[in-house]
Amino acid sequence: MISTTNDRLVWGELNLMAAVRRKKTISEETLGQRLARLRKWRGVTQVELAETIGVSQSNVSDYERDVCRPNSDMVLKIAQRLELSTDELLGHLAKGADKPIISRKLLKRVVEIEKLPRRDQDALLRTIDAFLKSA
Residue 105: how many other CB atoms lie within 10 Å: 8
Give the range of the structural domain holding residue 30, as residue numbers without chain letter. 5-134
Q: Pick 104 or 74 by higher pLDDT.
A: 74
Calculate the CA dihedral of residues 109, 111, 115, 121 and round it to 10 degrees.
Answer: 60
* Mean pLDDT for the stretch of residues 110-114: 86
Q: How many domains does the chain fold into?
A: 1
CA dist., res. 14 & res. 56, Å (int): 33
Residue 28: its pLDDT value, please? 78
Contact assessment for residue 42 and residue 99, using Cβ atoms and an 8 Å cutoff: no
pLDDT tens readout for residues 22-76:
444 445 789 999 999 999 988 899 999 999 999 999 999 999 999 999 999 999 9
> 116: domain CATH number?
1.10.260.40
